[in-house]
Amino acid sequence: MTRERRRHGGPEQRPPPPSSRRARPPQREWSRVVLVAILSCLIGFGAFAYSGYRKWSLGVKVVTLHPSPPILPPNSSFPHSSPDLFWGSYRPQVYFGMKTRSARSVVTGSYNHLVALCPGLQHITDVVRGSLTDRFIHPSGGPGGNRRRYFGVDVYNPPPQPEHSQIIVHQITMALPFQAEFLFESDSFVERSVHLSGNILTNELQRHQQDMAGKFRQLFRLEEKGFIPEQVTFAQAALSNMVGGMGYFYGSSLVQSRHNPEPVAYPLAPLFTAVPSRSFFPRGFLWDEGFHLLLIARWDPALAWQSLAHWLDLMNADGWIPREQILGPEARSKVPSEFVIQWNENANPPTLFLALRQLLAGGNVPSEGRQILRRAFPRLQTWYNWFNETQSGPLPYTYRWRGRDKDTLRFLNPKTLTSGLDDYPRASHPSDDERHVDLRCWMALASDVMADISDLLGVDGGSYKESRSVLADNALLDRLHWFERLGAYADYGNHTQNVALEWERPRPYPGQDPRSVPPPRLIRVVKKTPKLQYVGALGYVSLFPFLLQLLSPDSPKLGRILEQIRDSDKLWTPYGIRSLSRSSPIYMQRNTEHDPPYWRGPIWINMNYLAVRALHYYSQQEGPHRERASSVYRELRINLIANLFRQYKETGFLWEQYNDQTGRGQGCHPFTGWSSLIVLIMAEEY
């Protein structure tokens, strides 16, 4: 019966064969596989997301400003905060331009350039830079008659007219000589008893001139040092052009890091700064500004504190400050495209510590300066740490400039623009083994100033004092950088002096069209394999331990450096100390076909100022070299003053550099940046 029910109840259920049971995993194993797959996907997605986020965060960090509160509040330059400085000639890039210290200012200017719009001629700009050349002069009226300057354009098409214009052009035509007054007044200021024009303006100008002359006489006392009125006027002109050339800029730099595939815009920011040259370099340069502030701080410490604060407020979260401030399209139009982008691994000499040393001199810091210093200290700490983290050398307490040119085929000696000394000879083959003595000395100065600021603010400065002690250790300095054969301090790296620029003239292969043959080019030929050694180049870099006063007054190395300075076959000239010894193989050598010598012989006033200052210091210290330092000091000071005054009388300008053979000014002009330090040399203010 049981068998019957089974038969009628449907087919008999039989267990699957053993092989089938093995082919179908239990539900638990399937769940484990799915879970592992999901976890793998999540981990992969998380890693991908983290990688993307990290890449984004590293890329955006270059344009992330320092997290500490700004040193200057956003309205610090507004009229209610500093009314006397709100309006000014803050447009150094034009011959005369007025604006306010604000982001959106009315801009005025007088121009001596023409702009023409016509077919095939987009615009003519900067046609006139001082006076038109003779080919633009029409000799009407015959010999001795009036000469008229002219510029002609065949066709003129007016540009499209906007609905609402933001520019006012006022043209006047008058016979030379003439004077004209332009008065700008706000409608909102109605309670005005007199207008600043006519005799009122003349009297105000005379009063300010008298005040300036009186302050200049009191501060610098040049008459008491025996300078004639003409020399005093020269010094006043140098100072006036330095201070009068200060500009107020607003905009953003273009920056890039290795984490950015393309340049990115830095945050919009203001900058109140002096400029090296109003005609050629009308923008802020980090390494120049430290020298500018030495003179500005002597004239008006408040201006120096403000400029210093503006520069430090440009610092990003890592502690990097873009070394060249090209803010906005107007400034960018003056700079070759290859120099516009600022790379965040590239430093510049921290010369702001020179200015801080001057502002802290004697410990008599005004309350405004002390407040700025307290707010600036976190940024100074980050800046100092950034140098130690990014510019460190291969050995402890050594340093290496980043950003050297890597194309060893094009350059006789690859440039080091980041050092400020551009084509000054370094190791012939850039490598990570380099040790740069000038950067080590800058960091010794920075450590010293940071230690003093810590004491002034009452904060712990133990690490800065330790670094100061180590970097000022003359024995360690000698072990790392003294080159006995040169008789001076030197860089170290992968180097050979046996290099030369030679013409490479490609030959056409059989059947090649001669017109398609590449033109000849000047390339570097290495005639001896480089090796790790000291760089035998005697010049400004060799002098840095002396220039920044790191040498002990009784150091035997100091005596040898003084002999090198005073040797006419090496560094000494009747016009100042040349940048590179005449005995150097690279002295006055071109770096490329189109790159003439820059820091390879000419005389630079910023370095000569440091030399005069150091000589004055060592002439006041007890030691075996005191008399020698005093003698060289007197000679060098007289030579510098005499030559710069003579060149000013002949040309009407201060110059970027001076020829070491003739003393003549060369480079760009007017250069009333650090060349204006001649005022401090005349006044013996160090």
Q: What is the dihedral of CA 64, 66, 68, 73, to 10 degrees?
A: -80
Residues across the chain: 686
The answer to whether position 169 is within a domain reads no
Contact residues for 653 (Cβ-Cβ < 8 A; gap 6+)? 647, 665, 669, 670, 671
- The pLDDT of residue 391 is 97
8 Å CB contact between 388 and 398: no
Same-domain status, 153 and 239: no
In one-letter notation, the amino acid at residue 680 is L
Contact residues for 397 (Cβ-Cβ < 8 A; gap 6+)? 440, 470, 471, 476, 480
Helix (H, G, I), strand (E, B) or coil at 254: strand
Helix ranges (H only) for 508-571 are 544-547, 556-566
8 Å CB contact between 663 and 268: no
Same-domain status, 253 and 137: no
Same-domain status, 143 and 281: no
- The pLDDT of residue 26 is 61
* Distance of alpha carbon 91 from alpha carbon 64, whole angstroms: 28
DSSP secondary structure letter of residue 451: H
**Nearest CA among 584, 375, 399, 407 for reference residue 492:** 399
**φ, ψ of residue 620 in degrees (nearest 5):** -100, -5
* Distance of alpha carbon 359 from alpha carbon 222, whole angstroms: 22
Same-domain status, 241 and 337: yes
The answer to whether position 594 is within a domain reads yes
Same-domain status, 258 and 389: yes
* Distance of alpha carbon 234 from alpha carbon 117, whole angstroms: 42
Q: Which residue has the tokens 């700004």?
A: 70
* Distance of alpha carbon 671 from alpha carbon 60, whole angstroms: 37
The answer to whether position 596 is within a domain reads yes
* Distance of alpha carbon 74 from alpha carbon 22, whole angstroms: 76
Helix (H, G, I), strand (E, B) or coil at 181: coil
Same-domain status, 248 and 136: no
**Nearest CA among 288, 297, 422 for reference residue 351:** 288
Cα separations in angstroms, 670 against 244, 275, 637, 673, 684: 13, 11, 22, 9, 24
Strands 284-285 and 148-149: unpaired
Of the candidates 159, 181, 197, which is a domain's last residue?
A: 159
The answer to whether position 321 is within a domain reads yes
The answer to whether position 647 is within a domain reads yes
Cis peptide before 670 (omega within 30 of 0): yes
Same-domain status, 364 and 449: yes
Of the candidates 129, 159, 189, which is a domain's last residue?
A: 159
Cα separations in angstroms, 28 against 20, 21, 37, 657: 17, 14, 14, 84
SS (H, E, C) 69-107: CCCCCCCCCCCCCCHHHHEECCCCCCCEEEEECCCCCCC
Q: Which residues are catalytic?
A: 422, 656
Instruction: Return the beta strands (E) in 408-535 as ranges.
Output: 482-483, 488-489, 492-495, 499-504, 521-526, 531-534
Same-domain status, 125 and 252: no
Q: Is the dihedral of CA 288, 289, 290, 292 positive or negative?
A: positive
Give the number of other CB atoms < 10 A from CB of residue 111. Answer: 14
* Distance of alpha carbon 379 from alpha carbon 389, whole angstroms: 15
8 Å CB contact between 98 and 247: no
Q: Which residue has the tokens 């002609």?
A: 152
**Nearest CA among 333, 157, 331 for reference residue 250:** 331
**Nearest CA among 411, 427, 403, 434 for reference residue 598:** 411
Instruction: Return the beta strands (E) in 531-643 as ranges.
Output: 531-534, 572-573, 576-577
Residue 53 exposure: Cα atoms within 13 Å on the Cβ side:
6
Q: What is the CATH number of the domain that holds 257?
A: 1.50.10.10
Helix H or strand E segment including 22: helix 18-23
Counted domains in the chain:
2
Same-domain status, 463 and 588: yes
The answer to whether position 223 is within a domain reads no
Binned average pLDDT, 10 residues per bin, the chain of 686 residues: 42 51 61 79 72 65 94 86 86 85 81 40 36 37 43 55 73 83 73 82 90 96 97 97 94 92 93 95 96 97 96 97 90 84 94 97 86 97 98 97 91 97 97 98 99 96 97 98 98 97 91 88 95 98 99 98 98 99 97 96 99 99 98 99 98 98 97 98 98
Domain that holds residue 104: 73-159
Contact residues for 622 (Cβ-Cβ < 8 A; gap 6+)? 553
8 Å CB contact between 321 and 353: no
Q: Is the dihedral of CA 298, 299, 301, 307 positive or negative?
A: negative
Same-domain status, 154 and 260: no
The answer to whether position 412 is within a domain reads yes
- The pLDDT of residue 114 is 38
* Distance of alpha carbon 400 from alpha carbon 433, whole angstroms: 8
Give the number of other CB atoms < 10 A from CB of residue 617. Answer: 15
Rounded to 5 degrees, what angle do the CA atoms 314, 318, 323 make? 45
Of the candidates 131, 159, 187, which is a domain's last residue?
A: 159
Helix (H, G, I), strand (E, B) or coil at 494: strand
Same-domain status, 572 and 448: yes
Strands 247-251 and 324-325: unpaired
* Distance of alpha carbon 219 from alpha carbon 424, whole angstroms: 36
Same-domain status, 98 and 237: no
The answer to whether position 19 is within a domain reads no
Give the number of other CB atoms < 10 A from CB of residue 502. Answer: 11
**φ, ψ of residue 488 in degrees (nearest 5):** -160, 170
Contact residues for 180 (Cβ-Cβ < 8 A; gap 6+)? 172, 174
- The pLDDT of residue 196 is 81
For the chain, report the end-to-end CA distance as a whole number of angstroms.
125
